[in-house]
Each structure stands twice: as C-alpha cells, then as structure tokens.
Structure 1
Amino acid sequence: MNRDDAVPLPRRETPRPGPQRVGSQVPRTTRPTRHGRVRRAGLIMVRIIGATTALAILTGTGLAWSAKNDVDSGVTHSTALGEDPPRSRGGDVNILLIGLDTRKDLNGNDLPKEILDQLHAGDGTEGGYNANSLILLHIPADLRKIVAFSIPRDDYVAVTGIPGYRQIKIKEAYGLKKAAVQAKLIEQGETDPVVLERRGREAGRASIVSTVRNLVGVPIDRFAEISLAGFYDLATAVGGVDVCLNNAVDDSEFSGAVFPAGRQHLDGAQALAFVRQRHGLRNGDLDRTHRQQAFLTSVANSLEDSGTLTNLSRLSALMDVAHKDLVLSDGWNLFDFARELGAAGSLPVEFRTLPVVRYDVIDGQDVNIVDPAAIKREVQAAFGQQVSKTTTTAPIPTSVVGVPDDTGRTTTTPGTSAAPLPDTGKPVTTTIGSTIPCVN
C-alpha cells in the first residue's frame, strides 16, 4: 500500500444544517451554483498550497488527463515523513506547508542574479535555510471547514536530533539539521555538492516536520515545501495579487516593501516583499504571519479573476512553478487530490495563529516564548480531536539571561522582563471570492 492510499482524501458527508461559523467569517448572501462551488473549492487548495494551484486548475480543463502524468512526474518528492509516521484517524488529513527562505535551488546552486534582484534578497549567501513560513493545514473527514494554523517562525521550542542544541527558534530546525548532516557526510568523505545538498535538505525536512509535530501534538500526514523564489514565481504566474494595508509602510532597507495604505495590486516582486516584511510592523513576525495568510487568499482570488482557468500560457507557468519550486511528501498525488477536493463543494477556511506568551531575548536573539501544553490543547481542539489531559510542560521563565555552560554554549536562566504581550489576532474564516481583509 502506498502512502497516498494510507491517507485518502476525506469524503464529504451529507451537509448538516447550521454549520458553525468561527471568528469574523465573511457572510455569504447568495448560494452559489454547483458549478461555482466546484470551481471555487478547487481554488481553496490554491490558496493553501500555493504553487500546486496548476493541478487544481487543470481539473476543470480539457488538459486534465493528458497533463496528469507530466504534472506529477515533474514534482520533486521527499521521504522525510519517515517509514511509519503517526497518522490522522477517521479520514482526517493534516498537511504542513513549509516556506523555505533560501536563495538557492534544489541542487544548492545560487538563483540567477536577475531573480535575486527581483527578490530584493541579497546575493545568494544570505538567508540560510530557515523555514520562515510554516502553516499547518487540517482537512477534516466531513469537509465542513478547513483549519490553517500559522506557526510564527521565532517560536522558541524544544528540539531533538541536532547536535549541540536543545531549544531553538522553530525556523532553525531545518537549516541546523541540514548543516549537521552535511558536516558528517563530509567527514565520511562525501564531496559531491549535489549529494550533500539533497541529503542535507532531506534531513532538514525531517527535522522541521518532527519539531512541528512535537510542538502541536497532532500527526502530520503530508507536507509541501516551497522556496523563497516560489512565492515570487507563483504571484508572477497568476498576474499579481491584490492586498490591503491598514497603514502605509516603507521597509526599503530590508524587504523592499514600500506601499501606501489601502487596497492595491502587487506584481510578483512586490508580493514577495509584502509577505517578507517584519521591520516596522507593530507585531513584527506575528503581523507577517497574517500577511502570509492574506497572500494565499489573494492568490486564489487572482486566479479566479485573471482568466488563468482558460489561459494556456498561465497554466504552463503554474506548472513550471510546481516543477521548479515545490517539494512534496512521498506518495502524494496532488493532481488527484486537487480534483477530488474540487468535487467536494465549497469549503470555508479558518486561519489561526499559534498563541505566544510574550516576546523575549535569548542569546541576543528576539524569540517568542510559548506554552507547548497550551498550543497542543488549542490545536487539538481546533482540529476536533480529543484534548490530551496529560500534557504537561516545564515552567515558563518570566525572562531569560544568557549563561555559558561547560561546553561554551549559552543557556538560559529566569530573569525579569517588561516585554509587551503579543497579539496573535482572532481566528478569521474566509471563502474564495470574498473581500481581502486588511492587515498591518
């Protein structure tokens, strides 16, 4: 039995009256036609998985079956979930979306200079391999509502399997493990840079998956990884995205984001700057997670409004994004997945952000102090799972002060802090075609 058979797409049950609405869901005044429901449901996956939108779109065209093999065979697959990982029960599916902040391609080569210039992302030596975008997506068996948790990249979490580290920012679980594995391979005599890159990145994927799984306390059935360039390529392929800002921003020194307040249309380079900005925002990285959510919503609406459904050149561009910028967990056939999800009907998507206790500083770095037990309870409840009553966690320090240990590394001890309480925002439920919410 292959992995896809082990985690089939949930089948929708007979709709129940009065579905619950959580957060600030956008009201719907008319019932869409069956054709509209099917098409927009396919686009929900577009918003969530980003670069895989080509697959959902193809399901509504005459290219569906002729393009199927080309689409799936051209996508890179990974075995980083392991041979026998924990699985969701009852037909539910949990998907981890990983946005990797690297300036290199899948073989470790620097991106072309003209692309780096568009990305406003340095010369290729910056960024490392941080997982700066992490979204955990839950598709329940009854398909009543998709829940998507954004995981702030600076959450300070426990980690295993990375020599010399016990706690790190969650974004670092990928790059630190990759570097450790590559160093060991080099000691063993491996010199091929492509082999080092691929094996290091496989180890990085396994590390970020296990770290997230340990933090949230639920299985991860599938994952999709997209590169920094993938955000740019995706926004470019759909002809840009519409966004709305509460305030004007000028972050020309860092992300390159310079935008007025209000609603506006962004091209690919501007869209990437929009999702990357954190300097000058009231809640820093937490505001950036809300921008990532708004970006995914905007992509879906752009696809519907731009004529991509009938534009062969844009379909081809989206296929190129999937082939060039996307890595999927082994056994995941996205074409069939998107086709079946599209046939399920219209689905609301609830965006949430993992709770943060407060901001602090450890080893000179800004971090988010979190309560792992509270996170597990919130995620399990939102996913409709039985909340564990035995989940415990170590006491959370009121602050931290760096202290060298006997290895020369710096650990932390309790102190005092006046850092403000973070605002992770309320859950927001939205549907394709609704007005894009304004963000900071």
Structure 2
Amino acid sequence: MSTDDRDAPGDSRPLPPRLDPRAGRPARGRAGSTAVTAPATSAAGGRRLVWTGRAVAMLLSLAVLVTSGWGWYLGRVADATVNRTDAIPTSGNDETVDTGEAMNLLLVGNDSRSALTEEQLTELNAGTDSGTNTDTMILVHVPADGSKASFVSFPRDSYVEIPGYGWDKLNAAYAYGRQNAPDSASEEAKSAQGAQLLVKTISQLTGLRIDHYAEVDLLGFFELSSVVGGVDVNLCNAVDDSFYSGAVFPAGVQTISGADALKFVRQRHGLPRGDFDRIIRQQVFIAGVLRKMLSDDVLLDLGTQRQLVSAASKSLTVDQNLNLLQLAQQMQSVTAGSIDFQTVPYVGDDTDDAGRYILRLEDEDALRTFFADLSAEPQQTAAPTTEAPATVAPADVQVAVYNGSGTSGLAGEAATQLESAGYTVSETGNADSMDYTATEIRYAAGDEALATTLAGAVPGATTTQVDDATSGTVQLVLGSDFNGVGQAVTAPAAPATTTEGEDQRTAADTSCIN
C-alpha cells in the first residue's frame, strides 16, 4: 500500500481507554485530543536534540509485525501517541527528478539540548545547549515496491542555497526557518517553520519531493538502544575521545547501548575524516539497530516490541500525514542486505567568503543524476562472448624485442627466453626511451593473432595496433614491470583515493570502521 493513500486529518479515532498506553499519565501537550494528526503543543517538543535513524528502526520493527493483530495494535498505538508537526510545506517542495512512486522521508538531528536535565547532560556527555542548527540529516528513499531502501547522509557543512537566504551551510536552514516565524508564534509553530525551510532546501538541492519528515530526541535514542539489548559495532582501531564526545572504545566487535551508544555516534575528533567518519558511525549504528529489529530476539518478544513502540512514541516527531502502519506495510519485504547507506556526492573541502570551512557538493546535474539512479531499475548487462581470440603457433610469431626498462641486458635475456618458448626473435635493441614503466606489445593491422599469441607469454602486457609496425613482426617493448617470459608483469600500485560521495555499505555489512 502506498504511503500516499494516507488517512485524512481528523479521520483517525482515539484508542479506547483499556488499550490506550497513555491512560493514567498526563498527555504530552495533547490535552483534549488523541487524534493521529493532532500537533504536539509541548514547549520541549520544539526544542529537541534529535539523532537520526532510530525512527526508522521503529518503523521497520513494525514492518515485521503488520501481518498479525498484535502488529496492528502496536501500529495504532504508535500512530495515536507520536508527536506531529506541520513540516511539509505547500510550495517549494517540488519533484524535478523522476523517481516514480517512490517515497522520500527526511530524518534530521536538531542540535538543541534545552529539554535535558543537568543529570541527563552529564550522563550522556552532551555538553550544554548549542542552539537550533541541525547536525544530522539523512534522506530515506523507498521505491514504490518497498523492496529496498537507501539512506543518503548530508554532511552538516554542505554549502547549499537556502531559499530566501542565499548560500550557507546546510545545518543553518532549520535555524533560519525558526527565525522567520513571528515572535508571538509558539515553539511548535517555530519548529514547524524550521522544518519546512529545511525540507524546501533539501528538495531544491536534490530535485526530489520530500513526502515525510521525522525526528527523534536525545532521550529517545538513549532508550531505544537500551530496549533492543544493545547494538553490535566493529572498530578497526581503539578510540579515546574522552574530552569531547566521551567515546572510549577498544578495537573489535562490541555491544554498545544507552549513553555509550550516544558517545559512539557523536564522535568526530580523532577520526581520519572527522565529520565524514561520524556519518559512517551513525550509519553503522542504524544498520545495527535494523539487524536487531529483524532478529528473533525482537520478533518473538512481545514485551520488547511494546517497549520499542513506547520509547519511539515518547520521542518521535513526524509530519501530520505520515501513517506509520502503512509505511511499515510498504517496507515489510526489506532485508538488511537491501538497505544501502551512502553520502551525497561531494567535491571536497573549501572555505566561503567569510573564511569558514564548507564542503562543496557536486553540481546540480550530478546530484540530479545521483538521486534519479536511486529508483532506477538495474540495467541488464550483455552476456560475455565465449569465442576465444585467434592465436597461432609460437614458431609462427616473429618478435622484435626492445629494452625500455632501464635495466641493462634485459632485451637479450627476454630474447633467449622467447626462443626457448618456441618464438622466433628477429631483432633486439634499445627502445626510444628507457622510461617505460609498462610492457607493450605492438603490432600491425592484420597481425592480431600474432599479438594475442605473444600476450599469452607475457601476461598483463598491453597490446596496441600501431602504424609503424612491420607486417608479420610483433614488437615487444620491455617496461620496468617486465618479470620474464611466462611471468605476469608487476601490477601497478593502486593510486590513493578519497571517498568523495562514494562511501557505501548495506545494513548487512559488519566490517570494521575507523
């Protein structure tokens, strides 16, 4: 069922008191209403520090339950108790990239700590309030058939055009939106304005229509990771970031939860790529939560399922029209191996006109192509040909051997080895340069079979048709990679690369990270 077939506001009915898990405790800013689409009115709800991905973990836990009555009940509880916000704007959220009936959900992390007590700040090593900038933004893209999901992270320092405010860092969009609200507006209204401007910014950047919005506060993250019994992560090296995030972990596989889980996803100091490796940590932790959700430990434990829904409903804020049960039904065929994590394509580090650090993203065409490909059907590759290239007997191949390696006497040694292998050597000498690093086989038009035969004696050598080769004679130009007849040439060292926009893993990947 498509998530666009959503219930209209006001259609949902409150749960009866005997089923309502909120019975006996004060409503959180919802006096007089339990409707699914009722907006939250709690002041703290608009100032929440949110870390991404736990919302989706809850949604996927529902996905494995929707076929049972218990799953239907939990879905109704979640829909009835979750906080709602008017996050989807009526304009400026347009689809210019064709992704069919796919669903796009924006997960954000709001950087405010104002709702936490001093004790909670100390336990979570979260520091003091740092304003309303968003530090974590992930676009969850789910094709219409629900067979897979893509989580695309947006670095907070991405330099983008914010509608109405010009070019700035992406994490400033939410704050600008809040400032745009009237001074007399409620905290909920200000937060909704912030969410709407962020949605417009992401939509303009990606060319996608953002269908839904979700955020989870800090305590929700803390509680959810504990409810599932911790999450397994794998570190390539031990880390000690006790001063900043509080992350102190040994190398290897380990199970983390609660405050340790928060420290893990917050660390960026002491990592090779700073914020980029923090993004990888967030993605790895989300993947671990998803694997836990799909495990028998959760699927067969109704008590854990109830706790998960309770923890999510206390902290989750979503847009007015997101139907959690319908979304879960759409995603019920998703497996860990079909959930991809990657980072939006980027060019590299830079500074803006004020000298601030920024991250330059790829140009508009490259970004449009990237997001269009998320929903593209896999291309059918042509079956490789089974016809082997033509060859001849070694005795029918005349070879002129030229030394371009810089190693004295190598042409003579190669000639002797070729003759021992049955080839006919017509000439030896030095090449036009001694700086050849790669061994080459050159041949005239029509002598492809001769060149192919010689290439079998020098595996890895390049073959090239040239105009100045004598017909009937193949030239062997020895480079510094030549190891002898019958031996493969030395493979060139792989160049150092950066993972600019190319970090990618699935939720099933448990390899170690930095």
Same fold (TM over 0.5): yes
Q: Which residues of 2 match residues 354-393 of structure 1 at below 5 A? A: 354-362=344-352, 363-373=354-364, 374-384=366-376
Match of 2:100 among 67, 78, 90: 90
* Amino acid corresponding to residue 439 of structure 1 in structure 2: I
Check whether the contact 2:344–2:501 (CA below 8 A) recurs between aligned residues. Answer: no
Check whether the contact 2:99–2:375 (CA below 8 A) recurs between aligned residues. Answer: no
Check whether the contact 2:58–2:308 (CA below 8 A) recurs between aligned residues. Answer: yes
Give the Å deviation of 1:286: 1.1
Check whether the contact 1:359–1:422 (CA below 8 A) recurs between aligned residues. Answer: no
Secondary structure of the structure 2 residue equivalent to 1:368: strand
Q: Which residues of 2 match residues 98-247 of structure 1 at below 5 A? A: 98-104=108-114, 110-123=115-128, 126-161=129-164, 165-181=165-181, 185-186=182-183, 190=184, 196-247=186-237
Give the Å deviation of 1:173: 0.8
Give the Å deviation of 1:321: 2.5
Provide the rounded CA distance (Å) in 1 between the counterparts of 2:166 and 2:336.
Answer: 43
Match of 1:329 among 319, 326, 329: 319
Check whether the contact 2:147–2:333 (CA below 8 A) recurs between aligned residues. Answer: no
Provide the rounded CA distance (Å) in 2 between the counterparts of 1:55 and 1:143.
Answer: 14
Higher gyration radius (CA): 2
Using CA pairs under 8 Å that are at least 6 residues apart, name the structure with larger relative contact order, 1 or 2.
1
Check whether the contact 1:51–1:325 (CA below 8 A) recurs between aligned residues. Answer: no
Aligned length: 346
Give the Å deviation of 1:57: 5.0
Matched, 1:64 2:71: yes
Unaligned ranges ≥5, structure 1: 8-45, 105-109, 386-419
Check whether the contact 1:47–1:297 (CA below 8 A) recurs between aligned residues. Answer: no
Residue aligning to 1:403: none
Provide the rounded CA distance (Å) in 2 between the counterparts of 1:341 and 1:383.
Answer: 15
Provide the rounded CA distance (Å) in 2 between the counterparts of 1:339 and 1:248.
Answer: 40
Check whether the contact 1:144–1:347 (CA below 8 A) recurs between aligned residues. Answer: no
Q: Which has the larger displacement, 258-267 or 346-355?
A: 346-355
Give the Å deviation of 1:202: 0.2
Check whether the contact 2:54–2:224 (CA below 8 A) recurs between aligned residues. Answer: no
Secondary structure of the structure 2 residue equivalent to 1:96: strand
* Amino acid corresponding to residue 207 of structure 1 in structure 2: L
Provide Cα deviations, 1:138-187, integer angstroms capped at 9, x if missing partner.
212344432221111110111123xxx42221112112321342xxx22x
Provide the rounded CA distance (Å) in 1 between the counterparts of 2:296 and 2:119.
Answer: 26
% same residue = 35
Residue aligning to 2:249: 259
Check whether the contact 1:51–1:321 (CA below 8 A) recurs between aligned residues. Answer: no
* Amino acid corresponding to residue 260 of structure 1 in structure 2: P
Provide the rounded CA distance (Å) in 2 between the counterparts of 1:54 and 1:132.
Answer: 26
TM-score (norm 2): 0.61
Give the Å deviation of 1:333: 0.9
Matched, 1:78 2:68: no
Provide the rounded CA distance (Å) in 1 between the counterparts of 2:248 and 2:333.
Answer: 40
Residue aligning to 1:320: 310
Provide Cα deviations, 1:309-360, integer angstroms capped at 9, x if missing partner.
3334422322222222211122111122213421577861222211221213
Residue aligning to 1:29: none
Give the Å deviation of 1:47: 7.3
Q: Which has the larger displacement, 366-375 or 52-61?
A: 52-61
177 and 259 in structure 1: CA distance in 2 versus 1, 3 angstrom threshold: same
TM-score (norm 1): 0.71
Residue aligning to 2:511: 437
Provide Cα deviations, 1:245-295, integer angstroms capped at 9, x if missing partner.
122111111111111121111121111111111111111111111111101
Q: Which has the larger displacement, 277-286 or 228-237?
A: 228-237
Match of 2:279 among 262, 268, 289: 289
367 and 306 in structure 1: CA distance in 2 versus 1, 3 angstrom threshold: farther
Provide the rounded CA distance (Å) in 2 between the counterparts of 1:73 and 1:357.
Answer: 44
Provide the rounded CA distance (Å) in 1 between the counterparts of 2:361 and 2:111.
Answer: 23
